[in-house]
């Protein structure tokens, strides 16, 4: 069969197949990762970036090839992790810009878009290095552009051949690769993407290569690369995502951050700014970015701790972890998808049971989608914690990255989730040790504690230290919330009919919260929404110690995004513009018990 043109559905299907195939190469890419730093994370970073692309493409069914290319680029930018993810994002942005407003393209036009993607990446790099993903992208694009083939099937075959040839030459261009006996990991990841496309156009089954091979003749016999010393590199892999209506240009951001480290890559796409830099001063990077927009996510991972972890696994036949500790939680934590992706947090989904159908929280249904249904839904869906098997699966994914796992779970006073996680931990001893923490919280209180745990893990802290510190912080943190109506609390049995009747008559709003031991208690009540808002915020000020220096806040809501934005402004006015505030719609398993209009504020005191 001949394929003379590429339209939206064909590009979407090809990209999804490519993402699936390339994600399966994660372990091998981590194993051969020695440049720019030997931290064993290229495969993981690329896999997370590709997962974001796939998630962005799955619900979209545009007919125009330009629209699909743009959706892939947007997903890449939002989910970009590490050097390879950032570089792939630049390539896809250039590719999409060249295809803008086109319904379908020929092989010649496709080649031009490939060249545009390669050129955009090269122009964005501070110090381009040959023998990397840049080289293979450029060589692949040049081969396609020079081809006179008008059928996409042989064109893709030729493109993969050129990419493989370019990949095989990377050790000759980059001495660190030749010394280690490997090809460039990021470049191999890009070749895997193209190979996934080739498998798709041929109609072959997408399957991963056997672990421990490089997919071609170069260094296929290598089982353990000679990892170079990491002493000459900056310490922290620093990444951030910023949103804002008037962000500075890429060149301006590069100029501001140039002297703070190396491996600097900046992406500016609309109202989104993404930054990656290896630095010894991540807080100075974050301080600058807070001044240009809203700092949505930020992380600083200790590459020396990663390198030490990789070295411990090198030369052995055990799995090759890339970080000392991986973090697991459940979907009741209400952390945004952006935060979860940025830190590589592993989430076990809770279940929502409605009639004869079960939805996995955050997978089969989003919080926003559920809130819309909740407005008109009479029957109360039931909820269920993740099963031990769901946690076993989550632990298995986490152990692909970490030597040990730390889990932060929704309060044992509210759910049986912790017991389920404990049961799974007892059955996963062959994978490694699992340390579990009862958050004694829910929603963004749990989420903030998860975030604290993963930040400590990124700094290379031991699991015992992470457990102790999260428990210490929880003892001085809390959550306050209120509801718009008592209907859902009545349906779930948390208030009596008499209480609900009086509440409706008087427009009574309870002010509820979680004690340090996880118990739900009433902190007060108010007549009407305005009084409830003032009462809750006044109680919040009483709960947060005066003069606190390190505070983080979270605003959770059920179908009330405008109110959440107003609350954020009010809290910034009280606690300063620099205070970190996370905002999220309540997960369905929480929203179903609170009802539309409910909202709350979580606070975490870290002093």
Say yes or no to pLDDT of 211 above 70.
no
Helices (H) and strands (E) counted in the chain, each on its own, are 25, 19
Residue range 155-206, pLDDT digits in tens: 999 999 999 999 999 999 999 999 999 999 999 999 999 999 999 998 875 5
- pLDDT higher than 50, residue 223: no
If we measure between CA atoms, which residue out of 412, 415, 536, 425 comes closest to residue 474? 412
Over residues 420-424, the mean pLDDT reads: 96
- Residue 484 confidence (pLDDT): 85
Sign of CA dihedral 58, 59, 63, 67: negative
What kind and span of H or E run contains 27? helix 26-32
Contact assessment for residue 486 and residue 511, using Cβ atoms and an 8 Å cutoff: no
Confidence of residue 34 (pLDDT cuts 50, 70, 90): confident
Structure tokens of 206? 């997408």
pLDDT at 36: 81
Q: What is the DSSP string of 437-475?
A: EE-S--HHHHHHHHHHHHHHHHTT--HHHHHHHHHHHHT
Angstrom CA distances, 412 to 160, 198, 256, 322, stand at 52, 49, 47, 31
Q: Does the pLDDT at position 593 exceed 90?
A: no
**Residue 206 DSSP symbol:** P
CA-based radius of gyration for the chain? 25
pLDDT at 42 over 60: yes
Res. 405: pLDDT tops 90: yes
Give the pLDDT confidence of 450-473 residue by residue, as tens digits: 999 999 999 999 999 999 999 999
Write down the pLDDT at residue 477.
Answer: 97
Q: Which of 406-410, 511-515, 550-554 has the least mean pLDDT?
A: 511-515
Residue 494 has pLDDT above 70, yes or no: no
CB 501 within 8 A of CB 489: no
In the chain, the domains with their CATH numbers are 6-202 (1.25.40.340), 236-301 (3.30.70), 308-474 (3.40.50.10170), 478-605 (3.30.1180.10)
Q: What pLDDT shows up at residue 203?
A: 84
Give the range with max mean pLDDT: 212-221, 343-352, 492-501.
343-352
Q: Once rounded to an integer, what is the mean pLDDT over residues 531-541? A: 96
pLDDT confidence of residue 252: 96
pLDDT of residue 506: 57
Which pLDDT score, from 0 to 100, does residue 374 have? 83
Say whether pLDDT at 313 is over 80: no
Return the pLDDT at 308.
81
pLDDT digits (tens, 9 = 90+) for 339-394: 999 999 999 999 988 777 888 888 888 899 889 888 876 666 788 899 999 999 99
* Cis peptide preceding 36, ω within 30 of 0: yes
Please report which confidence band the pLDDT of residue 225 belongs to, taking 50, 70 and 90 as the band edges: low
Mean pLDDT of the residues in the chain: 89
Q: Which of 292, 281, 283 is nearest to 259 (CA)?
A: 281
Percent of the chain with pLDDT over 90: 72
Global pTM reads 0.87
pLDDT for the residue numbered 91: 98
CA 207 from chain center: how many Å?
25
* Nearest CA among 238, 449, 428 for reference residue 327: 449
Per-residue pLDDT tens over the stretch 277-287:
999 999 999 99
pLDDT band with cut points at 50, 70 and 90 for residue 493:
low
410 with 450: CB under 8 angstroms? no
Under the banding of pLDDT at 50, 70 and 90, the label for residue 27 is confident
Element (H, E) at 538: helix 529-543
Confidence class of residue 497 from pLDDT cuts 50, 70 and 90? Answer: low
User: Is the pLDDT at 570 greater than 80, yes or no?
Assistant: yes
96-119 pLDDT tens trace = 999 999 999 999 999 999 999 999
Residue pLDDT, tens place only, 51-93: 999 999 998 889 999 999 999 999 999 999 999 999 999 999 9
**Choice among 21-25, 374-378, 462-466, 504-508 with the minimum mean pLDDT:** 504-508
Q: Comparing 586 with 505, which gets the higher pLDDT?
A: 586
Which residue bears the tokens 């809770």? 350
The pLDDT tens digits of the residues spanning 320-350 come to: 567 899 999 999 999 999 999 999 999 999 9
User: Within 10 Å of residue 353's Cβ, how many Cβ atoms?
Assistant: 12
Q: Are 67 and 25 in contact (CB under 8 A)?
A: no
Both tokens of residue 317? 């036949």
pLDDT for residue 11 is more than 50: yes
């Amino acid at each position: 069969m001949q394929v003379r043109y590429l339209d939206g559905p064909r590009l979407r299907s090809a990209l999804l197949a490519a993402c699936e195939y390339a994600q399966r190469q994660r372990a091998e890419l981590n194993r051969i990762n020695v440049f720019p730093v030997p931290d064993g994370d290229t495969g993981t970073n690329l896999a997370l970036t590709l997962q974001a692309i796939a998630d962005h493409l799955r619900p979209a069914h545009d007919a125009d090839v330009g629209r699909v290319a743009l959706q892939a680029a947007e997903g890449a930018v939002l989910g970009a992790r590490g050097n390879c993810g950032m570089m792939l994002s630049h390539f896809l942005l250039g590719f999409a810009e060249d295809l803008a407003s086109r319904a379908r393209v020929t092989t010649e036009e496709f080649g031009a878009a490939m060249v545009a993607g390669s050129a955009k990446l090269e122009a964005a790099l501070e110090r381009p290095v040959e023998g990397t993903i840049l080289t293979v992208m450029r060589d692949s694009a040049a081969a396609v552009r020079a081809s006179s083939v008008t059928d996409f099937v042989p064109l893709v075959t030729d493109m993969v051949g050129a990419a493989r040839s370019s990949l095989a030459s990377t050790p000759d261009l980059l001495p660190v690769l030749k010394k280690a006996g490997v090809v460039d990991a990021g470049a191999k990841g890009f070749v895997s993407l193209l190979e996934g496309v080739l498998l798709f156009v041929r109609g072959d089954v997408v399957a991963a290569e056997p672990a421990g091979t490089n997919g071609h003749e170069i260094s296929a016999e290598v089982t353990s690369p000679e990892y170079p010393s990491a002493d000459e590199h900056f310490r922290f892999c620093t990444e951030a995502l910023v949103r804002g209506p008037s962000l500075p240009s890429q060149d301006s951001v590069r100029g501001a951050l140039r002297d703070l480290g190396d491996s600097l890559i900046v992406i500016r796409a609309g109202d989104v700014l993404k930054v990656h830099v290896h630095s010894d001063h991540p807080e100075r990077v974050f301080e600058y970015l807070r001044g240009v927009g809203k700092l949505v996510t930020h992380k600083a991972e200790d590459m020396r701790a990663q390198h030490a972890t990789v070295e411990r696994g090198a030369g052995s036949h055990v799995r090759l972890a890339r970080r000392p500790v991986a973090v697991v939680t459940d979907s009741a934590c209400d952390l945004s998808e952006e935060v979860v992706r940025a830190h590589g947090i592993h989430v076990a989904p809770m279940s929502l049971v409605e009639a004869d159908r079960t939805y996995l929280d955050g997978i089969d249904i989003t919080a926003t989608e559920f809130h819309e249904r909740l407005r008109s839904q009479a029957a109360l869906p039931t909820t269920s914690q993740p099963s031990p098997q769901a946690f076993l699966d989550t632990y298995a994914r986490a152990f692909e990255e970490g030597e040990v796992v730390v889990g932060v779970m929704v309060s044992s006073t509210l759910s049986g989730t912790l017991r389920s996680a404990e049961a799974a931990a007892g059955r996963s001893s062959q994978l490694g040790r699992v340390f579990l923490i009862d958050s004694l919280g829910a929603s963004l209180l749990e989420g903030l504690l998860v975030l604290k745990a993963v930040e400590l893990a990124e700094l290379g802290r031991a699991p015992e230290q992470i457990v102790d510190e999260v428990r210490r912080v929880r003892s001085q943190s809390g959550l306050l919330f209120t509801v718009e109506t008592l209907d859902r609390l009545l349906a779930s049995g948390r208030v009596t009919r008499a209480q609900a009747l009086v509440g409706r008559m008087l427009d009574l709003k309870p002010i509820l919260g979680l004690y340090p031991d996880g118990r739900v208690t009433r902190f007060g009540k108010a007549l009407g929404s305005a009084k409830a808002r003032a009462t809750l915020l006044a109680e919040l000020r009483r709960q947060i110690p005066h003069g606190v220096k390190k505070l983080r806040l979270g605003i959770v809501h059920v179908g009330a995004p405008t109110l959440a934005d107003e609350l954020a402004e009010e809290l910034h006015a009280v606690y300063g513009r620099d205070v970190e505030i996370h905002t999220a719609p309540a997960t369905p398993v929480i929203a179903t018990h609170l009802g539309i209009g409910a909202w709350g504020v979580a606070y975490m005191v870290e002093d």
